[in-house]
Amino acid sequence: MHEEPVPVPAPGEVLLNVSAVGICGSDLHWLNEAGIGDARLANPLVLGHEFTAQTGKSGRVAVDPAIPCGVCEYCKRGDPNLCESLLFAGHSGQDGALRERMTWPERCLYSLPERMSDAEGAMLEPLGIAIHAVDLAHLRVGMTVGVFGCGPIGLLIIQLVRLMGASKILATDILPHRVQAARTYGADDALLVAQDFRTNEANQLGAQCFDVAFEAAGENAAVEMAVAAARPGGKVILVGIPADDQTSFTASTARRKGLTLKLVRRMKLTYPRAIQLVADGEVNVRSLVTHTFPLERAAEAFATAARREGLKIIITP
């Protein structure tokens, strides 16, 4: 903890008073491994990319942590999440939101409805990722869905596919309280599974034949489960970030089934939809927040998140 001068906004930027910051699994990668995949830290980094803030001009806002360039090929074709020059809060050399004040581009701010809490606003970023993952699945009414990994994003996916008319939802996790949460948020069935992928689980899941299988754990065991559970011709959507930057699965199973695999890169133009879903009460993010800590107890907050206690941990600068 240390003091810094109050930042001065550059043209197009706004001074933010940060009010709530969620701890994400990717934050734990930075903390524990000093990197995510091939992105490594050379200097200290302020973490935090799920956040809300107060501004003097726009009032309370949710903040998109991504700053796309807007001019590259991918931005112009409508894929700003794939921008080659993307800056992202709390990533590589771009400091994030675990501080009292920061500046950010005004174009990345979204006004929050009065009835939406700061913590709910911070949950819009993980909800945006869940929306993008479901978008990639091209889900249709009546499809069957498996969700493998029931952290906050997995639980948000369950809510979204239930809202979209999935006829059957199965969820799995290695933690009992997350299995119970999956049932609470709309899974028809939820299974407690081992950290490794066992033969009996393969046989049980292989008989399910889901149209879409979402992996949201960042573990190869969950990827293997998703591949085993997908029907021939089905889709597997990989959301999680593996700690060792490697994803593997049984190729013969996936090949014989002719599976389509898609990987989720953050989110794509989803904030307005996320805000509307929460404001209308269609998606419940409030009850996913199980722990709240002040900034001076950030170390305790990260330790709680690393132990996978509760669901979402919020820090209030």
Residue 139 and residue 162 in contact, taking contact as beta carbons nearer than 8 Å? no
Predicted confidence band of residue 200 (pLDDT cuts 50, 70, 90):
low
Q: Give the residues across from 169 on adjacent strands.
A: 145
- Placement of tokens 């001009």 in the chain: 57
CA distance 302 to 30: 11
* Gap between the Cα atoms of 149 and 182, Å rounded: 9
Give the mean pLDDT of 131-156.
Answer: 97
What Å distances lie between residue 317 and 43, 51, 59, 84, 209, CA to CA? 22, 10, 17, 31, 46
Collect all residues with Cβ–Cβ distance below 8 Å to 26 and sequence separation of at least 6.
36, 49, 91, 241
CATH 3.90.180.10-classified regions of the chain: 13-123+285-316
Q: How many helices (H) and strands (E) does the chain have?
A: 11, 17
Class at the top of the CATH hierarchy for domain 13-123+285-316: alpha beta
In terms of CATH, what superfamily is 129-263? NAD(P)-binding Rossmann-like Domain (3.40.50.720)
Q: Please, where in the chain does CATH 3.40.50.720 lie?
A: 129-263
How crowded is residue 252: how many other Cβ atoms within 10 Å of its Cβ?
8
Render pLDDT for 71-125 as a digit per residue (tens, 0 to 9): 999 999 999 999 999 999 999 889 999 999 999 999 999 999 999 999 999 999 9
> What number of other Cβ atoms are within 10 A of residue 84's Cβ?
10
Quick: pLDDT tens for 255-314: 999 999 999 999 999 999 999 999 999 999 999 999 999 999 999 999 999 999 999 999
pLDDT in tens, 15-28: 999 999 999 999 99
